[in-house]
Amino acid sequence: MRALLRLFGAGIVALAVEHGRATAADGTAAEPVTPGIRLNTVGYLPGRPMAASVAKQSGTFQIRRLDDGAIVWEGELSPPRLNADTGEQLSAADFSALGTPPAGDYELIVAESGERVRFRIASDLYREPFRLATQAMSLWRCGTPVHGEHAGEHFEHGPCHMDDALLDFVGEPGRRGPMTGGWHDAGDYNKYVVNAGATVGVMFRAWSDFGPAIERVNLGVPQTTPRLPGFLAELKWELDWLRSMQAADGSVYHKVSAKGFGGMVASDKDADPRFVVPWSSAATADFTAMMAQAARIYAPYDAQFAAECRDAAQRSFAFLQAHPEEHKAEQAAFQTGGYDAPDDDDRLWAAAEWWETSGDAAALAELEERIAATPNVDVDWDWQNLKNLGLLTFLFSERQGRDQRLVDQVRKSLLAAADRIVASSRAHGYARPLGTTYYWGCNGTVARQSLVLEAAYRQTGDDAYRDTILDGLNHLLGRNYFGRSFVTGLGERPPLHPHDRQSAGDSVAQPWPGYLVGGANPRASDWSDRMEDYRTNEIAINWNGALIYALASQLESPRE
């Protein structure tokens, strides 16, 4: 711990900094101090890359083991270089050569300043963060009582939105549809099919890629469907709501929403009328993809549910084929999230998943026609463009009949995209895989890039891709301009005031845990831990789904 001096008018107040926390000399809280050492505040995996960014310092650093005080590593900071998006001079403290030391708590000490920051090394480092991020999905549940525990705090709300939803805008004024359940979408309580696609699709990919490792984590998911693994039980809560959004003709309603964003109250106190919003082709396509995935994934556990999902996917895919034109939802009466973007990517993903589930030749023909028109794997993607999910399904499929030239083209594009991500990370002072790009929800993209990197690793076995997933997690958990975690309840100095109605509306001082906030926008330094700052500090299911995938990728060594 080192003493810093800060001038306040004519006086001088001594501040102590440890783990990024600041306390005034009289013991009262003071303004947070950004540490000069910025590292993953959750810690590091043994035998994997370990590095921190250090601002405005040079010389040597040490790694000290806390249980016996032994200095286990000494090294030189890299020469400082200008980090373009923050304007800082940053050095790197790389201590990867520690290898596989005993699990425990360590300390990085910079000789020039004497500043030190603690961190942990453990092979099971990401089990608890993964559990916490998955529990956060359970805490997002709508239409049921919710309970959760974290760090000695109890979080709960009663049944909410039990009258979802009025059918006034879909031709049945005054009547209500059976649209209870599902997850609240973000810091608001509405429910959107398109953003569900961005979330469920990524979480299903996590199960497909890391299912055995996920099953070994005790998630503590509510036992609403005990015959299922906990992870799939959580997803089924959302899938059951999604199935209620399918109309008889196979089209899918766009969202369930109040007309405007409500007040900052707990969900079980939210009384604004909620409505079903008319269908869109994007929602119908994303629904098709999710149901087709569910038909495959749930078949070993619940054959009846899997068959129902397959039937739902088939009906919606047939509707899409009969209505090839893009159809946007009529949302003029609503001021809530539009989730409105062209549907080409959604239709590609739908064709990919339905073909993978059914082997339907028409679906393969449509899929390959769409891939031929746009085969590039995207580096930067979210709900607006879910093409990558379809491309990965096509590339990793074991079905016969694919055009090998397209398979090779997608593979080449995948590796090119992954190489661009690796290059962005290596060029950035905080090893940020998204480089110098910032916008609403960019933290979610940093996590979501892990799908592209993991796919490239599985195609090549090149550890650089998996190491770059760790770079993204390092950034989200503290190796960033602010030197703090971006996930509520996790790591050091996590967000305390997310833009989240549940956190703002309950009686618990701490925010609901396990949620990734959106991140800096529009510049690297533009983030504030204020509830009002929805541009940078909101939470959302698609960002958490991406975080869940990134954490799942590190539950076990790729060599295990």
Residues forming a β-bridge with 540: 186
Classify residue 26 by burial, with Cβ atoms within 10 Å: 0-12, 13-18, 19+: exposed
Query: Residue 370: how many CA atoms within 13 Å on its side-chain side?
Result: 22
The dihedral over CA atoms of 183, 184, 185, 189, expressed in degrees to the nearest 10, equals 160
Distances (CA, A) of 513 to 262, 491, 551: 22, 11, 16
Element (DSSP H or E) covering residue 110: strand 104-110
| Annotated catalytic residue 161 | no
**From the candidates 184, 327, 428, 499, which is the catalytic residue?**
499
Sheet with 21-24: list strands edge to edge. Answer: 2-8, 11-18, 21-24
How is residue 84 written in tokens?
A: 């373009």
How far from the centroid of its chain's Cα atoms is residue 75's Cα? 34
Cα-only R_g, the chain: 24
- Could you tell me which residues come within 8 angstroms of residue 300 by beta carbon, excluding any fewer than 6 positions away? none
Best CA proximity match to 542, nearest among 424, 451, 471: 451
Q: Determine contact, residues 382/199, Cβ cutoff 8 Å.
A: no
Query: Residue 191: how many CA atoms within 13 Å on its side-chain side?
Result: 29
Distances (CA, A) of 69 to 242, 313, 328, 372: 55, 60, 63, 60
How is residue 321 written in tokens?
A: 């084929």
Best CA proximity match to 264, nearest among 531, 452, 545: 531
Best CA proximity match to 339, nearest among 417, 252, 272: 252
Q: Determine contact, residues 133/516, Cβ cutoff 8 Å.
A: yes
Residues belonging to the active site: 499
